[in-house]
Structure 1
């Protein structure tokens, strides 16, 4: 008697999300058409519109998935450095230095979406900005747990360092300045 485990096969929506993530991150959201996404996913165009309503709906799902990857990294960092907000911040920036120095690095998907959608009222831009604010709040929460004289200034400095790395990692050949972001974060946190 043999036992076979049922292997869950990804549904059309999951295939679309995965394909869109790869294409949007590597090529840009506006550069990728719906036809390219469904072709890569191996599904039909009606499948995309049943699952996501529109390309904007798929794009906001992509941004949400990207943000979840951020929170997953943060969960590991917080687990590895419990009750140590300084070490958590340093670990984040050390990880960013590594990621930003890898081939194919295209920065932060949220930042890229904000650049691609300059219209303030566009739903994609609004979602990206909302998710960015969550990241800023996490950084501010960690900074406020430290004994620093100006937590708002330090938070702003770390956010600017983070955003600069997202761009610099795309501009300068690896390892480039982005590889130094962990060291720079330590300097800011020590001042």
Structure 2
């Protein structure tokens, strides 16, 4: 599954971004800025969207914007952190619904990912996109990307460990690489084919690891 910037608009933002209220909660202005910025960043590219464009689209003053996000980079990090948190919550719900069936959770992830890929509004993985736009390893955006991808590998390894897979960390890396490839299948490939290919290849990787034929 990939939670995109467009999806974020319809979801409750649990992450407190920008300067919090005096009670420590989410300021409405900061929430509005992030809700507006998310689909712009995802749909047009992060560097192509200026702070001025976000300010105009959100209907806030520059003073308000920079009070919550002193730099555009801080807004980008907040965007990626919110996407990551939304994806983690979704996976958490799946795991809670199938606590003793890790294989079903992995397959559900693959099917959800395939269903989203190649759609009209699909612009690829927001984290891979951000990585390409901010290649500097120590840049805060790159750090936010790696934080999410580290969680993704860890979550996969944990599910694989439950399955009894040997070398779960290595197999998790293989599955994440497979996932990354699905993000680049291209608009000419029907989503159903991406889903079928992802499930088939992922299943083959897991079965091979469980059989020890590696």
Q: TM-score normalised by the shorter chain: which range applies?
A: 0.7 to 0.9
How far apart in 2 are the matches of 1:107 and 1:81? 28
Aligned length: 180
How far apart in 2 are the matches of 1:37 and 1:74? 30
Partner SS for 2:48 = coil
1:96 aligns with 2:110: no
Q: Pick the aligned partner of 2:169 from 130, 152, 177.
A: 152
1:71 to 1:152, Cα distance in 2 relative to 1, 3 A: closer
How far apart in 2 are the matches of 1:52 and 1:133? 25
How far apart in 2 are the matches of 1:93 and 1:67? 17
Contact 2:33–2:54 (Cα < 8 Å) also in 1: yes
Q: TM-score, normalised by structure 1?
A: 0.87
Unpaired runs of 5+ residues, structure 2, are 1-26, 209-214
Unpaired runs of 5+ residues, structure 1, are 1-9
Partner SS for 1:145 = helix
Partner SS for 2:157 = helix
Q: Pick the aligned partner of 1:172 from 167, 187, 209.
A: 187
Q: TM-score, normalised by structure 2?
A: 0.78
Q: Pick the aligned partner of 1:14 from 7, 13, 31.
A: 31
Q: Pick the aligned partner of 2:46 from 19, 29, 48.
A: 29
Counterpart in the other structure of 1:5 = none
**4+ aligned runs moved over 4 Å, structure 1:** none
Per the TM alignment, residue 41 of structure 1 is displaced from its structure 2 partner at its CA by 0.9
Please, which moves more after superposition, 114-123 or 146-155? 146-155
Counterpart in the other structure of 1:127 = 144
Map Cα deviations across residues 77-133 of structure 1 (whole Å, 9 max, x no partner). 113322211111111111111111422111221111111101112111111112211
Please, which moves more after superposition, 73-82 or 107-116? 73-82
